[in-house]
Chains A and B, each alone.
Chain A
Amino acid sequence: MKAAIEVQGVEKRFGSFVALAGISVSIAQGEFFALLGPNGAGKTTLISALAGLTRASAGTLRVMGHDVVSDYRAARRALGIVPQEIVFDPFFSVRETLRFQAGYFGIARGAALDNWIDELLAKLSLSDKADQNMRQLSGGMKRRVLVAQALVHRPPVIVLDEPTAGVDVELRQTLWAFIRELNAAGHTILLTTHYLEEAQQLCSRIAMMKLGKIVAMDTTDHLLNAFSERVLRVKIDGDLPASQAQARTRHAGAWHHFTIHDLSEVETRLAALREAGAHITNLEVAEPDLEEVFINVMNK
């Protein structure tokens, strides 16, 4: 089966500045893939190259097997992009905006399109705003319209470039529920976000970018296991007995952290602490955390 997104040796230079320094990544159909990295890492440039908004200086990009330059029409039809910035056309209503966007992709007006638009509006809790002008919508609602615009031509590959930046909790939940549903129905999702817990919960595979390069790429589980560990946090009344200090990884106030590799070590560590005379007042076990993975990878 052809890859949903195939990027081979892509470079992008703006004068002497190298925005992408030889990126290669293949995303299979049906994957939920996260592209993470600090600001300026090149995530948006890569998405722009995929969308044909930026022309790569070297390398090739394909969407559902279609080259984004030589076969741009088919590539763009296969791609739906939710941009990072909130943009809108102030002349039109929500429904008009969606009809136009569908039309640009060659979808004729008619009952089939109107039904799909109604379904999209319902899924994104926008039904009551359908005939309102875009200017009258709040920022969060405009972002939902951007999501609907990206989906209105039913693309098999959906790219979300920081879709939840500055968005309230309710919209995030609505949005992720819908995107999960689309992914379950076979759509490939490529997500960039600064909310790492979202990527950890949603994505099956993650690539991390730094200075225009991919510095880590693996399944979410593998990355968590390779760069992060389960931690036992114990709150102790008084000082930590000297015999236990060596095993401690760090401490913050009365909380002391111990690395554990599996849950059976919890009991062993607690017994050792009690035996050494520590008075334990509270404890918690923290699972591997993508934020820690991210920091470790970026600082490597």
Chain B
Amino acid sequence: MIGFQTLLLKEILRFWKVGFQTVAAPVLTALLYLFIFSHVMSGSNAAFPGITYEQFLIPGLAMMSMLQNAFANTSSSLIQSKITGNILFILLPPLSHWNFYGAYLIAAVVRALAVGLGVFLVGIFVANVPVHSVVWIVVFALLGSGLLAALGLIAGLWADKFDQLAAFQNFIIMPLTFLSGVFYSIRSLPDFWQGLSHVNPFFYMIDGFRYGFFGKADVSVWLSFGVTAGAFFCLSVVTLYLLKSGYKLRQ
């Protein structure tokens, strides 16, 4: 247990020591999105009756930032350790694949929650966002950032250089997040794009998270929960299998 706790503490301190870059910067980016989009879209029809565009946007931005930062935390930590060689320090001790998975995942979730909370706190200065269900907010925040943290672990294990990781981030994570309904309700899309959004797991994370604030969503919150929890479970199984087999860590 001490081994796991130590690795968790190390992973948390790793991002906390560069908190400007890992927490403050994503909050600022989200704030800029919020100012620009709310200015441009001001007065446009909100997705749900009685909810302004600014109110609609804040939970989506918070979730998008959480997802991106959870992925960035595990993937960048792993690739940096692999490339600099200091991954050795955690391969030599008697840490299990569960220790490895748990510590990296929880640290990434902690960073994601710090960023999400930051975005939410600055967001409420712009618009008053209601809270319908704290439980759903927390469930989707944890599951969503856990899912992306596991995906970050897979990407970090797979990538041999920063280029490959950047490609993963720019060509998979970014399009999926931007096309998940952060900035709009998918109901406003033509049928084809609406159908396509329904196969994007990021859509369910954002939609379920937003339900926690407004009590309204594009699809049933239970469907969103099922997809998010199922995807988290599947990616966790894959991650644990890769860690146990020593994929690209032990020859």
- Mark A residues whose CB is within 8 Å of B: 14, 48, 51-55, 72-74, 76-77, 79, 81, 83, 85, 87-92, 96, 100-101, 103-108, 149, 153
Contacts and interface: CB of A to CB of B under 8 A. Distances in A.
B88 A52 contact: no
Contact of A89 (B9, B86, B251): B86
* Those 9 A-B pairs whose CB atoms lie nearest each other, nearest first: A103-B6, A104-B93, A73-B94, A87-B85, A76-B94, A54-B251, A106-B2, A89-B86, A87-B86
Contacts of B5: 103
Nearest to B251: A54
Contacts, number: 78
B196 interface: no
Contacts of A55: 246, 250-251
Contact of A100 (B10, B88, B246, B251): B10
A87 B84 contact: yes
* Most B C-beta atoms less than 10 A away, residue of A48, A53, A104, A105: A104
Nearest to A71: B94
Interface string B78-110: 000100111011111111100000000000000
Given A76-B92, A88-B86, A104-B89, A53 B2 contact: no
Interface of B: 2-3, 5-7, 9-10, 13-14, 17-18, 81, 84-86, 88-96, 246, 250-251
Contacts of A96: 13
A77 B94 contact: yes
Contacts of A91: 13-14, 17-18
B250 A52 contact: yes
A72 B251 contact: no
B85 A108 contact: no
B17 to A, nearest CB: 5
A149 B2 CA distance: 17
B13 A87 contact: no
B13 A104 contact: no
* Most A C-beta atoms less than 10 A away, residue of B5, B7, B86, B246: B86
B85 to A, nearest CB: 4
Nearest to B87: A87
B236 to A, nearest CB: 22
